[in-house]
Structure 1
Amino acid sequence: MIVGIGVDVVDLARFTRAVARTARLVDRLFTGAERDLPVHSLAARFAAKEALMKALGDTEGVRWHDMEIISDVEGNPGFALTGVAADIARRRGIASLHLSMTHDAGVAIAFVVAEGGA
């Protein structure tokens, strides 16, 4: 059963300018494992984190580092949740999260489906 969905779009040029102008932005938004990626990949991950917050439905107290975008053994993207984000997912009965990300034509887009247990 679908518990929540979320989608987000990030303008790549605007995100690139924000990263260039705000020295600690990348450190604030991304975990150590995410930080060294190209800016278009960071933009897609930012969109994924925003989409996840929409899918969770309750984000009070969630920190950016509570949501890390990881890849499974086949290279498919997913989330590793910790802290408040993990607590909210547990409380809402979310058993799995499905993530799709892309970047093209000047935008990065992410879509998240939060699925509950049977």
Structure 2
Amino acid sequence: MIVGIGTDILHMSTLSRQFLKFDDPFFCKTFTEEEQRLGALNDVPHIYFCMRFAAKEAVFKALNTYPDRLKHWNEIEILNSDNGAPYVRLHGNMKKAAEEKGIQQIMLSLSYDKDYAIAFCVTST
């Protein structure tokens, strides 16, 4: 059964490159260490991080929980499987929120074009 859906579109210039530095507080509270490591290895890190930020927004919406439960965006982690498909790993309050709702599966689709990143998420039991 579907618990929630979420979508987000991000104009990539909104997430300025100045915030995508390893010593920036926003960057550290938004991306997990693994996301940071993988993003640094990416050919186009700015697009990588913009897509993950859009994904985090979509996942948060699909979890359908109270905004004050999200302490840091890095409680939602976006990684890729061996075949390149994105998947979600939850931590802290977001993991607890999903467990309380009986969420068993989080499906995520990501895409981008020249200026925009988009994410679509469905959560189900």
Q: TM-score scaled by structure 2? A: 0.83
- Looking at structure 2, the residues matched to 72 and 85 of structure 1 have their Cα atoms a distance apart, in angstroms, of 21
Give the match for residue 100 of structure 1.
109
The secondary structure found in structure 2 opposite 1:35 is: helix
Shift of 1:86: 0.6
Q: What is the identity, as a one-letter code, of the residue corresponding to 2:69?
A: G
Give the match for residue 88 of structure 1.
97
The alignment's C-alpha RMSD in Å is 1.9
Higher strand share: 1
**Identical amino acids, percent of aligned pairs:** 34
Higher helix share: 2
The total of aligned residue pairs comes to: 116
Shift of 1:19: 2.0
Instruction: Point out 4+ residue stretches in structure 1 off by more than 6 angstroms.
Output: none
The 5 Å alignment of 1:41-80 reads 41-59=48-66, 60-62=68-70, 63-80=72-89
Structure 1 gap segments, 5+ residues each:
none
Shift of 1:80: 0.7
Q: What is the identity, as a one-letter code, of the residue corresponding to 1:52?
A: V
Q: TM-score scaled by structure 1? A: 0.88
Shift of 1:16: 2.4
Shift of 1:65: 1.6
Cα distance change, pair 106–89 in 1 and its aligned pair in 2 (3 A): same
Q: What is the identity, as a one-letter code, of the residue corresponding to 2:64?
A: G
- Looking at structure 1, the residues matched to 109 and 98 of structure 2 have their Cα atoms a distance apart, in angstroms, of 18
- Looking at structure 1, the residues matched to 75 and 30 of structure 2 have their Cα atoms a distance apart, in angstroms, of 10
Cα distance change, pair 102–28 in 1 and its aligned pair in 2 (3 A): same
Cα distance change, pair 77–28 in 1 and its aligned pair in 2 (3 A): same
